[in-house]
Amino acid sequence: MKKVYVLIGNYGSGKTELALNFAFRAAEEGKRTELLDLDMVNTYFRLAEHGKLTEMKEIRLVSPNFACSGIETLSLPAEVASAFDMDWDTVVFDVGGDAVGSTALGRYHQDFMDLEPGALEVLNVINIRRPLSGTVEKIIRIQEEMQAHARLPISGMINNTNLAEATGPEELRDGYEIIREVSERTGVPVLYTSGKKQLLDRFLSEGHDPRYIGTPMYIDTYMARDWNSWIKSL
Amino acid sequence: MALTLMKGSEAIAEAAIRAGARFFFGYPITPQTEIPEYMSARMPEVGGCFLQAESEVAAINMVYGAASTGARVITSSSSPGVSLKQEGISYCAGAQLPCVILNVMRGGPGLGSIQASQGDYNQATKGGGNGDYHLITYAPASIQEAINIFGFAFDKAEKYRVPVLFLADGIMAQMMEPVEMPEMIDFKVDPEKKPWAATGWKPGDDPAKRAVINSLYINTEELTVHNNNLQAIYREIEKNEVMYEAYMTEDADYVITAFGTVARIAKSAVNELREKGVKVGLFRPITVWPFPYKELKEAAVNAKALLDVEANEGQMLIDVKLAVNGDKPVEYFGHCGSLMPTTAEIVAKILEMKEGK
């Protein structure tokens, strides 16, 4: 059965990074994979920057024609239809940030509704170290807004709490505590917890309730920039 | 306080609010649109005013109006938008209105590109508008540094009654870094401390206390006196407000000069070259006006040569040359438009200079 992952979330929560990781993992398992850039908000930090990398891994990348070319107005490419019409094993949608970014999904409402039951996973990527996702109330508010704009129910949350290069063991732990409360209040399950191997292993060994961890997902970082190394020297 | 992961635009906007800014007037332009976006959500939460003006020209004149009341006011834009603001900035300087202006530089000239650049150095430091005026101009090199500077930027603007300019670039606004935010200050306009401010004159009040905010002096003698006062203030600022960072310059044979984001790249180059045993240092002006002429001269006193690195045609190069005043050779490396110099390019250039090519 075709599996469709839709990654939404607060601006800067790590959606593009996770989209690449979801797609790469599927491709490594030998799945026919399509990765779609549906970000209509930000002109920077686009999947299109990783065109060569995705091509190497035999992933089909669908990206707005003008992404990364310095054009300020983005448009949805017609090829998005291929996600629904073609016979993929795995399809990953990387969506723009916040409710405003989720709006792009509304255009494909009927296509999503026509998917086989169980095929669709709409995932809210959460990093509680982002200022607008720092509390239970803020996360619930953004989640409700995104759900309304996307016209899709959120299947689950991803705890992707990090501080980029400065991430320590307390990031996932604090994220776990807050996202657990969001889950308890809203009934939306935690489906994944993601992080770099060493930090995620350490978090997993701490004996937290697995119901609020979901599937652990080791990630590699592709979107990081040189300035992460400059931090140390400044 | 815990660190948060913030985008430059958001962090700058929040830092301004925590420093007491309660009025934001602006107009969207990439790569700084996240600043007005953030302000539009945040200002109502703190009882402030966010207003999207019909143009950059209108926005800077709204700044003029709000700053006239003694409030803490901010506007932001990117290069072409800041060009539009120049007339109003000159008016603010002439009327001695404290305010903060942000320029998130992008490629130019004209509409240029939406990628980062440093092409507005001359506009910022040599005056983009008319008349003899200066702005205290900060060129932070990290989001945290921008936040920290906001901690005193309004104080400086008010102390000297000059507009303050932040000279950042697209990278600074778009990058995300873990940062620590200061606590919110409780800022209130104090008419005693700001007798010049238009805080509400009522009939029956002392007519002498009526605030008139103006940059027009029809009488030549009066305009000369006014300008002399401004010049005296600028000399005070030059004496007191220079900020810079000298990194490994003490024993350096080569001193790299760079500001903002490019200085960060240059710092990585310095570290790489030091590992190769090459004695290199970095001199980074944090205030590009007033420029640290004396401090740079001292930092480069033992150097064989200087290398100025910029993401422009070498606009700061002139100030670097003025600082060493012909004592040392000064070379330039950089790109115009929006291409950032890389660590590898800077390393190669220094090695070339060392080998005497």
Same domain, B53 and B152: yes
* pLDDT band with cut points at 50, 70 and 90 for residue A231: very low
Contact partners, residue B292, CB within 8 Å, separation at least 6? B242, B243, B244, B283, B285, B323
Helices and strands of chain B, counted as H and E runs? 12, 14
Range of the domain at B296: 244-354
Where are chain A's structural domains?
Answer: 3-221
**Interface check B271 vs A, CB under 8 A:** yes
Find chain A residues with C-beta within 8 A of B142's C-beta.
230-231, 234
Residue at a domain's end among B153, B179, B205: B179
This complex has an ipTM of 0.82
Average pLDDT over residues A177-198: 98
Yes or no, beta carbons of B268 and A230 under 8 Å apart: yes
Question: Chain A closest CA to B95's CA: distance in Å?
Answer: 36
Q: Is residue B147 part of a domain?
A: yes
- Domain assignment present for B235: no
Query: Does B205 fall in a domain?
Result: no
Q: Do A234 and B141 touch (CB under 8 A)?
A: yes
Boundary-marking domain end, from B179, B213, B228: B179
B103 and B166 in contact (C-beta within 8 Å)? yes
Which stretch of A225-229, B33-37, B149-153 has the lowest confidence by average pLDDT? A225-229
CATH of the domain at B311: 3.40.50.920
CATH superfamily of A3-221: P-loop containing nucleotide triphosphate hydrolases (3.40.50.300)
pLDDT band at A68 (very low <50, low <70, confident <90, very high): low
Closest CA relative to residue B169, chosen from B234, B82, B100: B82
Same domain assignment for residues B59 and B135: yes
- A127/B5 CB distance under 8 A: yes
Confidence (pLDDT) at A234: 41
* Cis peptide bond upstream of B31, omega within 30: yes
Chain A nearest-CA distance from B57, in A, is 22
The percent of chain B in helix, strand and coil, each rounded to the nearest 5, is 40, 20, 40
Rounded Cα gap, residues B12 and B253, in angstroms = 36
Residue A175 CA: distances (Å) to CA of A19, A159, A162, B61, B177: 20, 6, 9, 44, 18
Q: Which two tokens stand for residue A194?
A: 């993601």
Say whether B175 and A225 touch across the interface (CB within 8 A): yes
End residue of a domain, out of B179, B194, B228:
B179
B141 contacts in chain A (CB < 8 Å) = 234
Has residue A222 got a pLDDT over 90? no
Contact by Cβ (8 Å): A192, A217: yes
- Per-residue pLDDT tens digits for B97-132: 999 999 999 999 999 988 899 999 999 999 899 999
Instruction: Determine whether the interchain pair B265/A230 forms a contact, defined as Cβ–Cβ distance below 8 Å.
Output: yes
Q: Quick check: A224 contacting B, CB < 8 Å?
A: no
Nearest to B306 by CA among B294, B321, B291, B285: B321
- Pair of tokens at residue B256: 């790299």
B214-233 confidence digits (pLDDT tens) = 999 999 999 999 999 999 99
Test the A interface: residue of B5, B175, B347 with most A CBs within 10 Å: B5
In a domain, B203, yes or no: no
Residues of chain B in contact with residue A46, where contact means CB-CB under 8 angstroms, are none
B145 and A CB contact within 8 Å? yes
User: What's the CA gap between B347 and B343, in Å, rounded?
Assistant: 6
Residue B201 banded pLDDT, cuts 50, 70, 90? confident
Are B143 and B278 in the same domain?
A: no
Residue B226: inside a domain:
no
Q: How many domains in chain B?
A: 2
For residue B221, the distance in angstroms to the closest alpha carbon of chain A comes to 49
Q: Which of A12, A129, A233 sits opposite B268 (nearest CB)?
A: A233
Q: What share of chain A is helix, strand, coil (3-state, %, to 5)?
A: 45, 20, 40
**Predicted confidence (pLDDT) per residue in A125-184, tens digit:** 999 999 889 999 999 999 999 999 999 999 999 999 999 888 999 999 999 999 999 999
Residue B31: inside a domain, yes or no? yes
Distance, in Å, from the CA atom of B331 to the CA atom of A54, rounded to the nearest integer, reads: 41
Q: Is residue B223 one of the residues assigned to a domain?
A: no
Spell out which residues of chain B touch residue A165, defining contact as CB-CB under 8 Å: 178
* Of the candidate ranges A68-77, B248-257, B308-317, the one whose mean pLDDT is the lowest: A68-77
Domain-embedded: residue B291 = yes
Per the CB < 8 Å rule, is B5 touching A129?
yes
pLDDT digits (tens, 9 = 90+) for B58-102: 999 999 999 999 999 999 999 999 999 999 999 999 999 999 999
Q: Is residue A20 scored above 90 in pLDDT? A: yes
Least reliable range by pLDDT among B119-133, B197-211, B293-307 = B197-211
